[in-house]
Amino acid sequence: MSYFITTPIYYVNDAPHIGHAYTTIACDIVSRYNKIDDDDTFFLTGTDEHGQKVEKAALMQKKNPQDFVNEMSKNFRDLIPFLGCEINDFIRTTEQRHINAAQALWKKLDENNQIYLSNYEGWYSVRDEAFYQESELQKIDGKFFTEDGSPVEWIKEESYFFKLSEWQDKLIEYYEQYQRPIYPETRYNEVLSFVKGGLKDLSISRTTFRWGVPVPNNKNHVMYVWIDALCNYLTAIGYPDTNNSNFKKYWPGVHVVGKDILRFHAVYWPAFLMAADLEPPKKIFAHGWWTNEGQKISKSLGNVIDPYEIINEYGLDQIRYFLFREVPFGKDGNFSKQSIATRVNADLSNTYGNLIQRICTFVVKNCESKIMPSNNLTEEDKALEEAIESSVISYRYNMGEMNLDSSLKGIMVLLNEANAYVDSQAPWKLKTTDPDRMKVVLYMVLNIIIKSSIMLYPFIPQSAEKALSYFNISKDKISFNNFSLLIKNEIKINNPEPLFPRFEL
Ligand code: MSP
């Protein structure tokens, strides 16, 4: 199977922060999961470099927009390996391949009679790069603002329009046919009621600034930054050549986005695609927003979380784990240092790391560093084996649905069972009373540790790889294909090092 997963492309008006890191890591987790499931996976991210917001930011710094975006895009590019993410392509909307693709998409829409020239008059938020109806705004001290507090300005200019109003029925059909492609369900319902409420044609070009992809055949217009940006997903797999092997293999893709940009992805984007005779997205997952110690993250409040700082302080896998265990994917979450330390100590240090440490050390010391598989299982062992099987099944279901927190919770439940089993079986006592039984018990626990490490791998790749190396399982063996084979033969064990030192609370 092939799988194409994308992050939104990030605006380069400012430095990357924890919100950007969150989306990229989410996609890395799903991409790694699919890769170890032997799917042919393509993971795309990149930067959104056109539009008024970016142009303004360049002007503020008295820089030429191209030099400015080159510099800023690099910050996002460099962050990826630091986040432990393995991508397949990084796209920039100022690249020629993208300009060609965006113009080709425009021409196709035009050919299909989906675009017309008229005048736009209404509210626009540069911060959101979005048009607003007055009914969506609030008036404070005589000025209008969006619900999230973005200022808006009144614009009046000649503009091309996309005939979005004609796509209402087709969009509803798409949602039904693709069996609710929008997750989570609450967001799906919001999108559906928005579409059912009726759609207005969408302004898709601007004339009052130049920093954008030129509209084919009319030099006075640049494309509205959202049609330009959304097209990146097509560019990266070779559009407009829809016969190339990547396009055939990977389209349609799965888009992961923040809740704030769901409408662009779940309404405008599928409509553009269908209007250009292309298949709409396979799935769209909308995640929630992070606050910092209860407050909205914003530059003006000075509480932006720098991914470099937080990862240097707590560790990469610790932060990756925290972000996806702490909050159900799709819900808003609150970032606090206290919660990171508490969560990491409880789950990664005590439940997972400590179990590995004590079992491996015990086997090295008392069993010549190796354990043979055993069939001599008691009823209790068999029940534990069943618990392992069902835990793997529900993990895989949850990963497919992007219920990332539930996947992690399930692994921790299993590891807690393993810890309770060790305590009740007390292998240190069996050492003298029943050494054969002791080996069966250790085998059972190793089975859980190895399988849990593989399930944890997409979330905490460096630590899981390290843990698996204690059992002489190398990275290329991390797969669901040979999952059971890994524990079919003698398991040789190396002396472990502590994986997750505890944080002082
Ligand atoms: N450029 C557009 C996307 C175009 S995709 C064709 C854009 N860029 S952005 O840089 O403003 O935001 C990118 C992503 O970061 C969005 O999905 C947004 O939800 C996410 N986040 C920004 N701040 C966030 C938090 N505080 N918390 C979680 N995610 C947040 O929108």
Q: How high is the pLDDT of residue 299?
A: 76
Q: How high is the pLDDT of residue 419?
A: 97
Pocket perturbation via mutation, ligand 1, pick of 263, 289, 296 by most ligand atoms within 8 A of CB: 289
Establish whether residue 9 lines the binding site of ligand 1, counting it when its CB lies within 6 angstroms of any ligand atom: yes
Inter-axis angle of helices 18-36 and 307-314, nearest 10: 60
- Name residue 269's amino acid: W
Measure the CA–CA gap between 163 and 185, rounded to whole angstroms. 27
| Structure tokens belonging to residue 82 | 């630091």
Q: How high is the pLDDT of residue 375?
A: 86
Measure the CA–CA gap between 201 and 147, rounded to whole angstroms. 22
Inter-axis angle of helices 65-82 and 52-60, nearest 10: 100
What is each CA distance from 25 to 141, 274, 359, in whole angstroms? 40, 30, 31
266 CA to centre of ligand 1 in angstroms:
15
Give CA torsion, residues 483, 486, 487, 492, to 10 deg.
Answer: -150
19 CA to centre of ligand 1 in angstroms:
7
Establish whether residue 258 lines the binding site of ligand 1, counting it when its CB lies within 6 angstroms of any ligand atom: yes
481 CA to centre of ligand 1 in angstroms:
35
Specify the residue with its C-alpha closest to ligand 1, atom 10.
10
Establish whether residue 128 lines the binding site of ligand 1, counting it when its CB lies within 6 angstroms of any ligand atom: no
Helices (H) and strands (E) in the chain, counts: 20, 20
Scored b (16 or more CB within 10 A) or e, 102-131 reads bbbbbbbbbeeebbeeeebeebbbbbbbbb
For residue 331, give the nearest of 186, 189, 182, 147 by alpha carbon. 186
Q: What is the mean pLDDT of each run of 10 residues along the chain (505 residues)?
A: 97 94 98 93 98 96 97 98 98 98 98 97 93 92 90 95 98 96 96 96 96 96 98 98 97 97 98 98 97 83 92 98 95 94 98 97 95 91 94 96 97 98 96 96 96 97 97 90 80 93 92
Q: What is the pTM of this model?
A: 0.96
Torsion over CA: 396, 401, 407, 409 (sign): negative
What is each CA distance from 254 to 2, 233, 292, 331, 415, in whole angstroms? 11, 10, 29, 19, 31
Pocket perturbation via mutation, ligand 1, pick of 6, 98, 257 by most ligand atoms within 8 A of CB: 257
Q: How high is the pLDDT of residue 173?
A: 98
406 CA to centre of ligand 1 in angstroms:
24
- Name residue 78's amino acid: D
Measure the CA–CA gap between 262 and 230, rounded to whole angstroms. 12
